[in-house]
Amino acid sequence: MSEPQRNKDDKLLAWAVLALVIVGLIVVYDASFPRSGFWQIIKQSAWALVGLLAYMAGRRFSLITLYRWVPALAIVTLILMLATYHSPLGIERGGAHRWLRLGQIGPVEITLQPAEFGKIVLIMLLARLLCHSNLVSACKPIQDRPLPWLLAILSVLVASGVVVVVQKDLGTALVFVGIGVMMLFTAGLPFRWVATLVALLTIAGVFLIFHEQYRWQRVVTFTQPFAYMNTTGYQLAHSLMGIGTGGVWGAGLGLGRAKEFLPAAETDFVFATVAEETGALGSTAIIALLVLVLWRMFLIAHKTQTMFLLLLVSGTGTMIALQSLLNLYVVTGSVPTTGVPLPFISYGGSSLVSLLFSIGLAQKVASNPMLERVKGVSHARAARGRGNGRTLVSRREYRRGVA
């Protein structure tokens, strides 16, 4: 199930992710203790252990097997996403159907959020669709083959449509759309087509905002949150007050007050607790760790020699970047409130496990940047250029191969 190792793992990436996970456990305990005691941190720690196993699985998983089984995996994930609404396991919270109930331990309910796994599955599916179906051939330029990108766009629309219509989750839909647009552009879709697609999706997003009263109210609220402090602006107003009182040094771990008023103190608004208790220094350190993770991810993508691996790793990096930006923008009142977790930090097992699995896949790519031959030519000969009277593939052509 695994290929022989050729290079070493990216240690900077591993240490940065480990630091973020540890910080996340500390912050989740701190933010959730006033309401849940030790139960939330026990649950999150258990998910972190599952995430470690997922990381190891992704690190050893055969990328060729993954490539072959992605369509089936996408169907299963879509069924699970629909099951949040159309099955006895589905849970409704605040009018949204985003979770599946797996059981309960003590007062803590064990749930699964399929959309979090849907993000990485969508990345895998798009990476496959935008490459040739033959593992030992080279990908043709995407503009010469309209069917793959049409299927890719359809996949993005279906995934985002399900989370918007069924799960009432516009934030996750924005992440799906952002992943799709960036991967299409990376795969070679002309900029004018990308711009047209973005414009159409923007129009659709505006329609969805006006279509639901609560979404439009969030737009009004974020422009003046303190005017609606006792109603729709309650959470954002307390988040801004917490960030503002943090200053440079912060109030100290465990001494923050915003977490006592924020309903989502350990999830979507966890950064408000970080900023209040550790100040600008602690906030900057977390952002720096996230930037370090993104740098290493995109560096791994740059070093890959096949389009499938390039799309797989860069798509994962895009997902982490979009979630980080959206979460930070929401917490600081830069965009209307929407539910997007801060990667590796926010409370939530589904998000943590799927992220760690994707990091494991990135480490797999880092140690195996060239897994398959292109048009029957070995990696060594492809790197040397011409040989034995045959014209070998260039680096650009080789990168468009599929692992």
User: Is residue 85 included in any domain, yes or no?
Assistant: yes
Is residue 303 packed enough to be buried (19+ CB in 10 Å), middle (13-18) or exposed (0-12)?
Answer: middle
Q: Distance between CA atoms of 131 and 142, rounded to whole angstroms?
A: 8
Q: Does residue 290 lie within any of the structural domains?
A: yes
Is 56 among the domain residues? yes
Beta bridge partners of 100: 90, 112
Residue 212 covered by a domain: yes
Q: What is the full per-residue pLDDT of the chain (403 aa) written as tens digits?
A: 444 445 678 899 999 999 999 999 999 999 888 777 788 888 899 999 999 999 999 998 888 888 889 999 999 999 998 888 877 888 877 667 788 888 777 666 788 899 999 999 999 999 988 875 444 345 555 666 778 888 999 999 998 888 877 777 888 889 999 999 999 998 888 888 889 999 998 898 888 888 778 788 888 888 888 888 888 888 888 889 989 888 888 888 888 888 888 888 888 899 999 999 999 999 999 999 999 999 999 999 988 878 888 899 999 999 999 999 999 999 998 888 888 899 999 998 899 999 999 999 999 998 876 654 333 333 334 334 433 434 344 444 444 443 3
Residue 2 forms part of a structural domain: no
**Has residue 395 been placed in a domain?**
yes
80 lies in some domain: yes
Please indicate, yes or no, if residue 372 is contained in any of the structural domains: yes
Q: What residue numbers bound the domain in which 189 lies?
A: 11-399
Provide the whole-model pTM: 0.87
CA angle 88, 93, 260 (to 5 degrees): 140
Tell me how many domains the chain contains.
1
Burial pattern 224-233, b for ≥16 Cβ within 10 A else e, equals ebeebbeebb
- Cα separation of 128 and 175, whole Å? 19
Cβ(130)–Cβ(401) below 8 Å: no
